[in-house]
């Protein structure tokens, strides 16, 4: 079995690290103090699936900024490789990559659980959404063979922030839930009296009440 004891979990603080990136050396999570950020790893530069992902992240970078979040990529490649790849994307696809890319030597990737023992030293497609207090709020892993949905990462970020701000839970695929549309779910009743008061309220039952934002 793989030892995952050092892997961070949802609710853990993001580990304090100093990393070399295409935008210079930065310290995480301090570099994004007061902001949310999305750290995503990719297996390697100059690979087709990763290129499609980086183009998608770049084109949605402003949408992430509008939600108060920054993007930062990572792979176990050297800085010059990242820079050349960014240059290739600009020259051939006419897309600017506006966010930094971490040139990891493997230490951070192993600490964050991004390296699968069956896939040599390449990182899997991991996503960490970290809030403005440096707490890891969401973790997604994709295998090397399957590209991510950047729209889903953006949706999850919006759902997390809305949940925090409004004190509600978000249904499947909110705000386009198959069952609830753009409605949200209010916290469950905490007492018997409250449960009886909620019967017949908006939603399906006292334990499943919904509302519009």
Say how many C-beta atoms besides its own lie within 10 A of residue 38's C-beta. Answer: 24
Separation of alpha carbons 40 and 123, rounded Å: 10
Cβ(136)–Cβ(187) under 8 Å?
no
State yes or no: is 50 an active-site residue: yes
Options 28, 38, 50, 186, the catalytic residue: 50
Active site residues: 50
């Amino acid at each position: 079995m793989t030892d995952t004891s050092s892997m961070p979990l949802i609710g853990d603080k993001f580990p304090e690290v100093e990393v070399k990136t295409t935008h210079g050396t930065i310290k995480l999570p301090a570099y994004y103090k007061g902001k949310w950020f999305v750290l995503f790893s990719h297996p390697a530069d100059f690979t087709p699936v990763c290129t499609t992902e980086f183009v998608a992240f770049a084109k949605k970078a402003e949408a992430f900024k509008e939600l108060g979040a920054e993007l930062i990529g990572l792979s176990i490649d050297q800085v010059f490789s990242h820079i050349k790849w960014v240059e290739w994307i600009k020259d051939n696809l006419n897309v600017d990559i506006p966010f930094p890319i971490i040139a990891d030597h493997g230490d951070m990737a192993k600490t964050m659980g991004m390296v699968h023992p069956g896939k040599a030293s390449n990182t899997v497609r991991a996503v960490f959404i970290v809030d403005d207090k440096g707490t890891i709020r969401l973790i997604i892993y994709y295998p090397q063979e399957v590209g991510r949905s950047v729209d889903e990462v953006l949706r999850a970020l919006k759902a997390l922030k809305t949940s925090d701000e409004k004190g509600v839970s978000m249904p499947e695929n909110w705000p386009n839930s198959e069952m609830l549309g753009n409605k949200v779910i209010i916290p469950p009743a905490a007492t018997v009296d409250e449960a009886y008061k909620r019967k017949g309220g908006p939603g399906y039952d006292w334990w499943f009440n919904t509302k519009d934002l």
